[in-house]
């Protein structure tokens, strides 16, 4: 339960699968209880999904992490160079991060970051993330024009993206 200066009630499921209720300061306990009760189905479904995801994706051991980091440092710059040449773009740099919630990002200055965790996925999924981030050098948003750029280089991008959700 987190009280703050917000105006509405909200329910969320954390990365670890715990339920968190956010409420405006001074909200009566009965109002909060009624809100949680009204959203019990949503809460149970999202907790079930999160726990299933956690069971399917356990945290890597220190050895696995080291292996994935090494693989990321070796493979990702090569994949970026390959697709950047095909796409006619030039990233400002490539960094490997420990991000948990996103596999890749492209800064406003065209610097690319990739999480080493991406290397636990099939090569087709890795290439999708690489092309996705390189496409942001040309189109800075997720508009239809952006996805046309992605599709030009990976016509099967939708299937590749699905591999990341598994």
Domain residue limits, the chain: 2-56, 62-163
Task: Return the minimum-mean-pLDDT range out of 22-26, 100-104, 109-113.
Answer: 100-104
Q: Give CA–CA dist 115/123, Å, rounded.
A: 14
pLDDT band at 100 (very low <50, low <70, confident <90, very high): confident
pLDDT band at 8 (very low <50, low <70, confident <90, very high): very high
93 pLDDT above the threshold of 80: yes
CB 163 within 8 A of CB 125: yes
pLDDT, position 58 = 85
Q: Which residues of 71-86 are buried (b: 16+ CB within 10 A; e: fewer)?
A: bbeebbbebbeebbee
Q: Look up the pTM and report it.
A: 0.79
CATH number among 1.10.443.10, 3.60.20.10, 1.10.260.40, 3.30.2010.10, domain 62-163: 3.30.2010.10
Maximum alpha-carbon separation in the chain: 60
The residue among 38, 108, 119 whose CA lies nearest residue 74 is: 119
| 51-74 confidence digits (pLDDT tens) | 998 888 888 999 999 999 999 999
CB 3 within 8 A of CB 24: yes
Instruction: State mean pLDDT over 96-104.
Output: 93
| 123-164 confidence digits (pLDDT tens) | 999 999 999 999 999 999 999 999 999 999 999 999 999 999
Q: What long-range pairs does 54-60 form, CB within 8 A, spacing at least 24? A: 54/16, 54/17, 56/166, 60/117, 60/120
Q: Give CA–CA dist 160/136, Å, rounded.
A: 18
Q: Give CA–CA dist 38/17, Å, rounded.
A: 19
pLDDT band at 166 (very low <50, low <70, confident <90, very high): low
Compute the mean pLDDT over every residue in the chain, rounded to the nearest whole number: 95
99 pLDDT above the threshold of 90: yes
Q: Give CA–CA dist 13/50, Å, rounded.
A: 8
């Amino acid at each position: 339960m987190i009280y703050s200066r917000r105006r509405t009630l909200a329910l969320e499921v954390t990365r670890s699968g715990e339920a968190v209720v956010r409420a405006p300061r001074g909200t009566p306990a009965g109002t909060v209880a009624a809100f949680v009760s009204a959203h019990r189905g949503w809460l149970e479904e999202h907790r079930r999904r999160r726990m299933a995801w956690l069971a399917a994706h356990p945290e890597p051991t220190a050895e696995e992490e080291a292996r994935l980091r090494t693989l990321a440092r070796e493979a990702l710059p090569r994949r970026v160079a390959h697709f950047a040449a095909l796409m006619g773009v030039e990233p400002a740099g490539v960094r490997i991060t420990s991000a948990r919630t996103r596999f890749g990002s492209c800064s406003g200055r065209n610097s690319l970051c990739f999480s080493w965790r991406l290397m636990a996925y099939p090569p087709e999924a890795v290439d999708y993330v690489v092309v996705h981030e390189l496409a942001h050098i040309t189109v800075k948003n997720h508009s239809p024009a952006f996805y046309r750029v992605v599709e030009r280089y990976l016509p099967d991008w939708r299937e590749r993206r699905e591999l990341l959700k598994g």
